[in-house]
Amino acid sequence: MKILDRLHRLAAAVLAISAAAAVVVALPTPHGDVRAQELPKSQTAQYLPSISDMMIATIQPRHRRLWRAAQQKNWAFAAYELGNLKGAFKRLGQAHPSEHDMSVPAMITSVTDQPFTELASAIQSKDDAGFDKAYADLTDGCNSCHQALNHGVVVIRIPREASTSDQDFTQASP
C-alpha cells in the first residue's frame, strides 16, 4: 500500500475512534451527570512548566540545534531554528513574568536582542565568522542571566562536537 493511502486510512481510523470516544464521554453517568462536569476545579488545574523545565525542553536544544545547522551551512534551517528559539524565549517570559523580583522578559531582551539581530544577518549573508561571533555573544548572554538570577551553577558553552542525532542537518527536503 502506498504511504499516502496508509496515512489516509490511519486518519480515517483516528477520526472514527475519536468520534466513538466523544460519544462515550458525553454519556451520562449513573447519577445522571456528565462526568467531566463532576471534576472539582482543583483537579483541572493547568500544568505550568518551571523555568528550568522550559530551559532544558525549549531553549537548550534549540541553542544546540542552531549551532549544528550553521556548522553544516544549512542556513535555511538555521534561520528556522533562530525563529523558534526567539519564540521559545518569548513564551518563557510570558509564562514566568518575574523571578527574584526581576522582569524575565526584560532580562531576556537585554541579553538576547543584539545577538539575535546579528545572528539573523549572519545567517542571511551566510557569514560563518559573523555567525560564530554572534553565537558566542548569545552564549555569554545565557550565562549572564544565569549569574544575575543566582543560577551561576548552570554554565552554557559553545558546543564542541556534533552529538549523535536522529536528524539530518545537512540538507532540506525539496
Residue type, 93: G
Closest CB 136 distance from ligand HEC, rounded Å: 12
Q: Of 61 and 130, which CB lies nearer to ligand HEC in the complex structure?
A: 61
Q: Of 14 and 56, which CB lies nearer to ligand HEC in the complex structure?
A: 56
C-alpha cell at 155: 554554565
Report the Cα–Cα distance between both ends of the chain, in Å, rounded: 24
Q: Of 75 and 92, which CB lies nearer to ligand HEC in the complex structure?
A: 92
Q: Calculate Rg over the CA atoms of the chain.
A: 22
Rounded Cα distance, 76 and 38, in Å: 50
Rounded Cα distance, 79 and 24, in Å: 45
Of the candidates 174, 171, 169, 140, the one whose C-alpha atom is nearest the C-alpha of residue 157 is 140
Rounded Cα distance, 162 and 83, in Å: 21
Closest CB 151 distance from ligand HEC, rounded Å: 4
Of the candidates 174, 165, 152, 149, the one whose C-alpha atom is nearest the C-alpha of residue 67 is 165
Q: Of 108 and 123, which CB lies nearer to ligand HEC in the complex structure?
A: 108
Closest CB 92 distance from ligand HEC, rounded Å: 7
Closest CB 18 distance from ligand HEC, rounded Å: 35
Q: Of 17 and 155, which CB lies nearer to ligand HEC in the complex structure?
A: 155
Closest CB 52 distance from ligand HEC, rounded Å: 3
Residues forming the site for ligand HEC (CB under 6 A): 50-52, 55-56, 59-60, 63, 99, 104, 107-108, 111, 138, 141-142, 145-146, 149, 151, 154, 156
